[in-house]
Chain A
Amino acid sequence: MTVGESVGGERPPRTFSERLSRIVTKSPIHIALAIVGLIWLLPTIGLLITSFRPASEIFTTGWWEVFGGRWDFTLDNYATVLGSQGMLEAFINSISITVPATIFPVVLAALAAFGFAWIDFPFRDTLFLVVVGLLLVPLQMTLIPLVELFASLGIFGTFIGLWVAHTAFALPFGIFLLRNFFITLPRDLIEAARIDGAGNVKIFRMIVLPLSVPALASFAIFQFLWTWNDLLMALVFAPRPGGLPMTTQVNSLLGTFGTEWHLLAAASFLIMAVPLIVFFSLQRYFVQGLLAGSVK
């Protein structure tokens, strides 16, 4: 990661004139990157500013005019969406759906990944390939029979149904990611524990899990964000009325208040708040998981 090893890496400038000439020759890059930064920040910043502006201002002036001094700050929009527009209830529903739908897949995928990595059984690699193949199955492929199946099990329109569906669809990626991490653990360590009489359960708990915290964290973060941000499963399986998570709530706000930007902006930032906190605090695991899941 040091600069010297990277592609653009050059030795540090020695004199002032060298530094100056480097800034000048690199200025096209700085300008281009500044434009990239603006394009990627402005849309989000615009909505963020809008969420704090009074409704009356939003309809008459653009959000960019706050930079010219029109800065009327208000929390009314957040109060409205949290209260009368049901976003507080939806926030609690999002948490109730997401937390179990993250814990279950992490536990089940870790168990299965250990089985695929370190226990011999017939057709193991074939079965693993089938699981990897299931990564491709779109949710749409199972929606209709799942509705009937959940109805016959009495879990249609309940959080349990959502947990089950999210868990099943998370397993292929989780097993793939964790199995690929588990097989990189030193074989000697695991063989030594076997010779000392440790069973698979003990090896899993005492050796594999403690050594795999980064991989488990990556998968947990991915699954958390995936479930938190999901719209389709919630549209079909979430309890209604009263059990909708924030994504479906904002989607129905869009239907009724398609141009009430003060409400839409505040509601959207409520959805984004938790993922942004997760992203900024756990960015390392997030990027690691991304690289492991695709490059490996």
Chain B
Amino acid sequence: MSTATATPTTSTRDAARSQSPKFLRGVSPTALIFIGPAVLLLTVFMVYPAIQTIFLSFENGFGNYIQLLTADPRFIRFSFPPSGALFNNILWLIFYTGGCIVIGLIVAVMATRVRYERIVKAIVFLPMAIAATALGVIWRFVYSPDADTGLLNAILGVANVGPISWLGSAGFVNTALIVAGVWGSAGFAVVILSAALKGISSEILEAARVDGATEGQIFRRIIIPMLSLPISVIAVTLTINVVKLFDLVYVMTEGGPGNASNVIGVQMYQQFSARNFDYSATVAVVMLLVLIPVMVFNIRRFRSERVVA
């Protein structure tokens, strides 16, 4: 690695090449100056610890994995209905990802038809800049069981319903959290989809209108198919968000009441705080395993785009 500091003149570069180990031959010293620091940092503080975590999770063979997947109701309980952190992540995956895409689509399509499009998009996008911690406080306040402080219970109170303890009841807590999550992330879908909508040429739409297509047909047969790539991009990004989900749930409920709203990311942290290091490592590895199909999908997409470009 000492060659990395050599001055990049032709002669020293050749000298460096002949001295460097076989696998580095052909790597110019300047290449090492540029990528070296980043690769070193990634190796030492990301790749190496991740490998250590995998070893730690196997500290007692497959014991941790067997316990986690078959005997830990906090992680997954195969009853009817199922429960546990993994099941809650699946709920998030379906309703948070789906909710963001559906709302994003509706708002993006409606916004392109009005002059205050930019204002609408900015308002819906704003929560993206806010810390999940602050977002959690905002929604804990909305959900407050006291009808004199919580907006939602105040509104329901007008219709003589409630007050309901949204975050305190196992039946409502996941819905309440996912609504807060969708509120926080729908702006992402709106911005991406609205940029994609701008890319659909107005000639195609005009031609369809001239041929007598209804607005509904245009939406289903033209707009949706042409948006399939950006929609898959949003789905992938939000799926990764779901698997890594931590702050919002931790701030709003810490996975409670009981274990009703726990998710994998929070459970890992709870085990970590309780100093069950090998068991929390197992939960972390499962998080990574769930993400691998997403990673494969992403790299494929990346490769196919390079072919196109």
Which chain A residues have a beta carbon within 8 Å of chain B's beta carbons?
Answer: 1, 3-9, 26, 29-30, 32-33, 36-37, 39-44, 46-47, 50, 58-64, 108-109, 111-112, 114-116, 119-122, 127, 129, 131-146, 149, 164-165, 167-169, 171-172, 175, 199-201, 204, 225, 228-229, 231-232, 235-236, 247, 250-251, 254, 259, 261, 264-265, 267-269, 271-272, 275-276, 278-279, 283, 286-287, 290-291, 294-296
Contacts and interface: CB of A to CB of B under 8 A. Distances in A.
24 contacts: A6-B202, A7-B113, A7-B223, A40-B123, A44-B130, A46-B138, A108-B37, A108-B38, A114-B34, A115-B35, A122-B27, A143-B284, A145-B52, A146-B49, A168-B41, A229-B132, A231-B246, A254-B136, A259-B144, A267-B137, A272-B130, A275-B130, A275-B131, A296-B305
Contact of A29 (B41, B114, B280, B291): B114
Contact of A290 (B107, B188, B269): B188
A129 B298 CA distance: 10
A164 B45 contact: yes
Contacts of A120: 31
A165 B42 CA distance: 10
Given A63-B151, A132-B298, A140-B265, 17 more contacts: A8-B112, A33-B110, A44-B138, A62-B151, A111-B34, A127-B39, A131-B38, A134-B47, A138-B244, A138-B288, A144-B272, A144-B280, A168-B42, A175-B38, A201-B8, A254-B136, A264-B137
Given A137-B50, A229-B130, A295-B196, A7 B120 contact: no
A3 B272 CA distance: 53
Contact of A141 (B50, B111, B246): B50
A139 B196 CA distance: 31
Interface string B107-140: 1011111111000101111110111111011111
Contacts of A271: 130-131, 133-134
B251 interface: yes
A119 B47 CA distance: 24
The 3 closest A-B pairs by CB, nearest first: A8-B113, A115-B34, A229-B131
Contacts of A232: 246-247, 269
Interface of B: 8, 23, 25-28, 30-31, 33-35, 37-39, 41-42, 44-50, 52-53, 56, 106-107, 109-116, 120, 122-127, 129-134, 136-142, 144, 146-149, 151, 154, 183, 188, 191-192, 195-198, 200, 202, 205, 223, 230, 233-234, 237, 240, 243-244, 246-247, 250-251, 265, 268-269, 272, 277, 280-281, 283-285, 287-288, 291-292, 294-295, 298-299, 302, 305
Nearest to B246: A232
Contact of A62 (B114, B149, B281): B149
Contact of A136 (B44, B188, B288): B288
Given A7-B205, A131-B42, A141 B285 contact: yes
Contacts of A32: 106, 110
**What does DSSP make chain B's interface, helix, strand, loop or mixed?**
helix
Contacts of A272: 130-131, 134
A46 B183 CA distance: 15
B295 A64 contact: no
A132 B131 contact: no
B129 A278 contact: yes
